[in-house]
Amino acid sequence: MESNARETLYREQVEALVEKWAEGKPPNPAAESPTAKPSGYYRLSGWLLEYLMEHDELPSGVHAMPRGIDRQGEWNLPFRLTSAALRSSEVTES
């Protein structure tokens, strides 16, 4: 499959998974975004898309999410992501 077509397909899958993960989580209070997404939303989205593009499958096992920097230049804590947690919308802070 062509790279652009794969990215489009994977982007839709990532969006659905991360939206499910975000359900019930409070919006990031430091973010000045009209979308009111929870902390880690965009970091998780970007990481999952990169992972899918490289491996052509969802991650399995436990993966450490990288630390992120918010718009104010503050570091966000890394978190652990398990394949089971991704499907059940639970992520553990590390």
The residue with greater pLDDT, 23 or 73, is: 23
Residue 81 has pLDDT above 70, yes or no: no
Q: Across the chain, what does the average pLDDT equal?
A: 75
* Whole-Å CA distances, 38 to 8, 15, 24, 35: 23, 14, 9, 9
Q: Where are the domains of the chain?
A: 3-93
- State pLDDT tens for residues 38-47: 878 888 898 8
The DSSP line for 16-79 is: HHHHHHHTTPPP-TT---TT-PPTTHHHHHHHHHHHHHHHSS---SEEEPPPEE-TTSPEEPPE
Contact 91, 81 (CB under 8 A): yes
